[in-house]
Amino acid sequence: MLNQYWARLTEERPEFQFHLVEGDELLARARAIPIRWDGTLEDLPVGIDGAIERGFEEGGGANVLCAMLIAIPKPKQGGGVSRDALRAMVEIARSHGLEALIAPVRPTWKERYPLVAIERYAQWRRADGLPFDPWIRIHERVGGAILYPEPRSLRITGTVAEWEEWVELPFPESGEYVFPGGLATVDIDRENDVGRYWEPNVWMRHEVQP
């Protein structure tokens, strides 16, 4: 789904895409798309795949901005840039008269617990009451609130050879595998030469004040 629509973000919705820079140095890259959402859990898109499809195929009536990506180069991570990027995205939503920013958040530490259901992981809290996951925690500190954990947010399929190349790991037989960087397992089907992976996310909402 993302392959089908991703390039159209900058081509057709450039006013919602931005970079944070310091001089000539890139600090963050961000992508977002306005969509229609009636504010109920039932009407949330089915993850990031559903959000980008809705943004382009259900034209008209957009009332919220949906975050697609905030990417921070590794040397710049941990310095508060992600908070700045989130605030900038909220400001873009405000400047376009949108009611809220919603985000299918990719939990940073979920890759350490790929066998734990996202519904349980999203509820984990530290002793101080803040979310266990660093990226969810940053969203909450900036004003975001968890809406709903989505177990099937981003679909990735490929041949067995492609998956072995992508993750640099052999898959000798069919079955469910944990792999480096995966938030869940990949289903390898050697008989049909396909690997199927559903990446989970956590829907969060940021209010946009007029």
How much is the pLDDT for 210?
75
pLDDT for 91 equals 96
Q: Could you report the per-residue pLDDT of 102-116, keeping only the tens digit for each?
A: 999 999 999 999 999
What is the pTM for the complete model shown?
A: 0.93
- For residue range 5-63, what is the model confidence (pLDDT) as tens digits? 999 999 999 999 999 999 989 999 999 999 999 999 999 999 999 999 999 998 678 99
Classify domain 2-150+202-207 by CATH architecture.
Answer: 3-Layer(aba) Sandwich (3.40)
Return the higher-pLDDT residue of 59 and 174: 174
Please tell me the distance from the alpha carbon of residue 48 to that of residue 66, in angstroms, as a whole number: 9
Domain ranges of the chain: 2-150+202-207
Residue 21 to residue 11: CA distance in whole angstroms: 21
Sign of CA dihedral 30, 47, 188, 184: positive
